[in-house]
Amino acid sequence: ERTLLITGIGELVTNDATLDATVPIGRSDAGGAVGVLWNAAVLIEGERIAWVGSVQRAPDGADAVVDAGGAAVIPGFVDSHTHLVFGGDRSAEFTARMSGHRYEAGGIRSTVAATRAAGEEVLRTRLHRLVDELRDQGTTTFEVKSGYGLDAATEAISVRLAREVTPEVTFLGAHVVPPEFEGRADEYVDLVCGEMLDACAPHARWIDAFCETGAFTVEQSRRVLEAGSMRGLMPRVHGNQLGAGGGVALAVELSAASVDHCTFLSDADVAALAGSETVATLLPGVEFSTKQPYPDARRLLDAGVTVALASDCNPGSSFTSSMPLMVALAVREMGMTTGEAVWAATAGGARALRRDDIGVIAPGRRADLVVLRGPSHAYLAYRPGVPLIERMWMGGVEHC
Work out what residue 340 binds among ligand NIG, Fe ion, none; the CB cut-off runs from 5 to 8 Å by kind. none
Q: Is 241 annotated as a binding residue?
A: yes
Q: Is 261 annotated as a binding residue?
A: no
- Closest distance to Fe ion from the beta carbon of 5 (Å): 40
Work out what residue 315 binds among ligand NIG, Fe ion, none; the CB cut-off runs from 5 to 8 Å by kind. ligand NIG
Torsion of CA 340, 344, 350, 353, to 10 degrees: 150
Q: Is 399 annotated as a binding residue?
A: no
Rounded to the nearest 10 degrees, the angle between the axes of helix 152-165 and helix 120-136 is: 40
Q: Is 81 annotated as a binding residue?
A: yes
Identify which of residues 236 and 238 has a Cβ nearer to ligand NIG in the complex.
Answer: 238
Identify which of residues 210 and 379 has a Cβ nearer to Fe ion in the complex.
Answer: 210
Work out what residue 319 binds among ligand NIG, Fe ion, none; the CB cut-off runs from 5 to 8 Å by kind. none
User: Which residues here bind Fe ion, judged by CB under 5 A?
Assistant: 312
Work out what residue 206 binds among Fe ion, ligand NIG, none; the CB cut-off runs from 5 to 8 Å by kind. none
Q: Which residue is nearest to Fe ion (CB)?
A: 312
Task: Report the relative pairing of strands 258-261 and 234-239 from DSSP bridges.
Answer: parallel
- Closest distance to Fe ion from the beta carbon of 274 (Å): 23
User: Which residues here bind ligand NIG, judged by CB under 6 A?
Assistant: 105, 107-108, 111, 210, 238, 241, 286, 312, 314-317
Q: Is 146 annotated as a binding residue?
A: no
Identify which of residues 241 and 338 has a Cβ nearer to ligand NIG in the complex.
Answer: 241
Work out what residue 108 binds among ligand NIG, Fe ion, none; the CB cut-off runs from 5 to 8 Å by kind. ligand NIG
Q: Is 175 annotated as a binding residue?
A: yes
Identify which of residues 278 and 376 has a Cβ nearer to ligand NIG in the complex.
Answer: 278
Identify which of residues 316 and 396 has a Cβ nearer to ligand NIG in the complex.
Answer: 316
Q: Is 317 annotated as a binding residue?
A: yes
Q: Which residue is nearest to ligand NIG (CB)?
A: 316
- Closest distance to Fe ion from the beta carbon of 264 (Å): 15
Amino acid in the structure at residue 87: G
Q: Is 16 annotated as a binding residue?
A: no
Binding residues for Fe(3+): 81, 83, 238, 312
**Residues at the annotated binding site?**
81, 83, 90, 148, 175, 238, 241, 312, 314, 316-317
Which residues make up each annotated binding site for 4-imidazolone-5-propanoate? 90, 148, 175, 241, 317
Residues forming the annotated binding site for N-formimidoyl-L-glutamate? 148, 314, 316
